[in-house]
Amino acid sequence: MNTLKQLVCTKGWFGGSAKYCRALHSSYFHSFPDVSVEVHSPEQEVVIALGSNIGDRLQNFNKALVLMNESGINIRRHACLYETAPAYVTNQPHFLNSAVRAVTKLGPHELLGVLKKIETDMGRTDGLRYGPRPIDLDILFYGKFKVHSDILTIPHERIWERPFVMAPLMDLLGSVADCDTVTCWHSFSQHSGGLSQSWEKMGGESLIGKEGIKRVLPIKNGLWDWSQKTSVMGILNVTPDSFSDGGKFLSVESAVSQARLMISQGADMIDIGAQSTRPMASWISAEEELNRLVPVLEAVVGMPEAEGKLISVDTFYSEVASEAVSKGAHLVNDVSAGQLDPNMLRVVAGLQVPYVAMHMRGDPSTMQSSENLQYDDVCKQIASELYLRVKDAELSGIPAWRIIVDPGIGFSKRNEHNLDILMGLQNIRAEIARKSLAVCHAPLLIGPSRKRFLGDICSRTAADERDPATIACITTSVLGGANIVRVHNVRDNLDAVKVCDAMLKQRRSCVT
C-alpha cells in the first residue's frame, strides 16, 4: 500500500522509485522543439499551475479552465485558491494562484502549445519576465516523465522555490498516494520524503496566512479568508413544517423582521430555506418552493442591513438554486450534495457560486431508515462519502476552491453518531486528507442547532429550549475546527464563537 506516511518514513524508498520510473517509463526526454516526442500511453495525468494578476483574476481562471477542457485537457481535480504577494518583480498587483490535475492525450510539447495559445487568446503578451499577466499556465508534471528541451522542462524547474506553486500542488495530492503516477511525482522531489518533505522544508502549512499567501474562497464580489474568524450563519425557515420554527416566518414581513434581528445580533450569513428537510418531511415541488422563497429572498437582499452580508439558499433543487442566485443569493446550501437533483452540480458549476455539500444518505423521508443508519466508523465513512460527492462536483465543473463541506449532523445519524461527529471533526478532516488535501482544507460548516438529539440528551421536548445545548455543540465544533456554524439563536451562539475564536488565537500566539 503506497501511503505518504510510508514514503516519508522509509529512507531511500523515493530513490528506488525514481530509478524504477526512469527505467520503466523512459522518464527523461531529450528533445527539441522540432522533434516529435512519442508518448506510448493513450492518456497522461498532468498538473498545470494557474496564475493571474491583471483584470478580473477569478474570471480569468474560469475562462482558462473552460478553454483547457475544450482543448483536450480534461480537468479532474482542483487545488484551493490562493491570493499571493508578487515574487521576483514586487511592484505589481497581487496574484491569484491555483493548480489542477487533468488527463490529456496531448504530448508534452503539444500541451505546451495549447497552453501558450490559451494565454495569447486571453490577452497575454510578451513582457517583463515575472511581470503582470492576465493568465499564466505552467506544466508542473507530465505523467511519470521528465522532459528537457529548449522550450520545456518538466518537472517545472522553479517548483521547489515557490510557496505559491507548492501550496496548490500539495492540495492536489492526498496523504495516501492514489496511483503510481503520484508516487513518481514524489520521487522527483529533492528530498527523500517526497513532495511533502519539500513543502515542509519550505515552511508548509505554517506559511498560509503569512509570507504573503492566504487561502481564499471567492464569494459575492470578493475573496473570503475563512481562517480569520468563525462565521455565524443565521437560519431563516420560510416553511410551515420545519422542526424548530415552522410557520413563524411565512409572511414576507415576519421573515424580513427575523433576518433583520439576526443581522443586528451579528450574523455573517442568512440561510433561507423554503422546504423542510426534517426527518419524514414530505417533498414539495420546485415551483412551490420558489413561490415561498422568492418574495422573501428579494426582500432580504434589498434590506439596507444586508449590505456586506452573505445570503445563502437552502435547497436541493437546481431550478431553485438558479433562480435564487439570479435574485441575489450568494451561495447554494444543498443537503443532498447533488444526489436529489441530477442537474444540481452542473447548474451550480455554471452559476459560479460557492456550494455547500452536506453528507446525507437517502432523502429526508428515508434518511433515518435502519439501512441508512448503519456505520462501522461514522467519521471515517462520512469523510469517504463526502469526498465522493465533492469529487462528483469537481468533475461537473465546481472547483474545490468553491466547495464548503458539512458532515450533516442529524441527517441519517443516530444520537451517538452526532456526538462522534462533534468530537471527531479533526478525524473527518484527516480522513478526507488521505484522498485530497484541497477538500481537507475546505471550509467546514456545522449545523447542530436545536436538533432532536439535543432534546433527547437534555430532556427538552421543545426545540426552542435547546439553545444552551446548542451552545455546547457550537463551542466544541469551533474548537474542533469548524469555520461556519449554522444556528437559530444568533446572539448567544455568537458569544460562544467569539470566546472560542479568542482561545484559538491565544493558542496560536503561544505556539508561534
Catalytic site includes residue 486: yes
What's the average model confidence in pLDDT over 226-253? 85
Other beta carbons less than 10 A from residue 139's beta carbon: 19
Instruction: Please give the model's pTM, rounded to 2 decimal places.
Output: 0.90
Other beta carbons less than 10 A from residue 505's beta carbon: 12
Q: Please enumerate in sequence order all residues whose Cβ is within 8 A of that of 9, keeping only pairs 6 or more positions apart, or say none.
A: none
- Type and span of the H or E element at 415: helix 415-423
Domain 4-216 class, CATH top level: alpha beta
What's the average model confidence in pLDDT over 381-408? 97
- pLDDT band at 118; cut points 50, 70, 90: very high
The DSSP annotation for 108-147 comes to: HHHHHHHHHHHHHHTT--S-STT---S-EEEEEEETTBEE
Per-residue cell: 463: 426545540
Instruction: Outline which parts of the chain fall under CATH 3.20.20.20.
Output: 227-511
How far is residue 462 from each of residues 48, 239, 375, 494, measured CA to CA in Å? 54, 18, 29, 22
Residue 20 has pLDDT above 60, yes or no: no
Instruction: Outline which parts of the chain fall under CATH 3.30.70.560.
Output: 4-216
- How many C-alpha atoms does 308 have within 13 Å on its Cβ side? 6
Q: Please enumerate in sequence order all residues whose Cβ is within 8 A of that of 94, keeping only pairs 6 or more positions apart, or say none.
A: 53, 83, 84, 85, 86
Give the pLDDT of residue 243.
62
Give the pLDDT of residue 241.
64
Of 24 and 338, the one with more pLDDT: 338
Q: How far apart are the first and last CA of the chain?
A: 36
Of 129 and 268, the one with more pLDDT: 268
Q: Could you confirm whether domain 227-511 is CATH 3.30.565.10? A: no
Of 9 and 81, the one with more pLDDT: 81
* pLDDT tens-digit map of 445-454: 999 999 999 9
Of the candidates 483, 361, 382, the one whose C-alpha atom is nearest the C-alpha of residue 432 is: 382
Report phi then psi at 494, rounded to 5.
Answer: -65, -40
* pLDDT tens-digit map of 51-104: 999 999 999 999 999 999 999 999 999 999 999 998 888 888 999 999 999 999
User: By three-state DSSP, how is residue 91 classified?
Assistant: coil
How many Å apart are CA 109 and CA 383, to the nearest integer? Answer: 39
Of 132 and 339, the one with more pLDDT: 339
Per-residue cell: 195: 513532495
- pLDDT band at 246; cut points 50, 70, 90: low
Residue 11 has pLDDT above 60, yes or no: no
Catalytic site includes residue 429: no
30 CB-contact burial (10 Å; exposed 0-12 / middle 13-18 / buried 19+): exposed
Helices (H) and strands (E) in the chain, counts: 18, 18
Amino acid at 128: L
Q: What percent of the chain has pLDDT over 90?
A: 79
Of the candidates 125, 188, 127, 121, the one whose C-alpha atom is nearest the C-alpha of residue 153 is: 188
62 CB-contact burial (10 Å; exposed 0-12 / middle 13-18 / buried 19+): middle
Give the pLDDT of residue 61.
97
Q: Please enumerate in sequence order all residues whose Cβ is within 8 A of that of 252, keeping only pairs 6 or more positions apart, or say none.
A: 295, 296, 299
- Mean predicted lDDT score pLDDT of the chain: 89
Q: Which of 346, 486, 507, 508 is catalytic?
A: 486
- Report yes or no: 84 and 94 within 8 Å, Cβ to Cβ: yes
Of the candidates 309, 324, 225, 235, the one whose C-alpha atom is nearest the C-alpha of residue 271 is: 235
Of the candidates 437, 358, 359, 432, the one whose C-alpha atom is nearest the C-alpha of residue 401 is: 437
Lowest mean pLDDT among 80-84, 153-157, 262-266, 431-435: 153-157
Give the pLDDT of residue 245.
65
Per-residue cell: 403: 466547495
Residue 416 has pLDDT above 60, yes or no: yes
* pLDDT tens-digit map of 140-164: 999 999 999 999 999 998 898 899 9
The DSSP annotation for 353-365 comes to: --EEEE--SS-TT
Q: Which of 248, 451, 498, 508 is catalytic?
A: 451
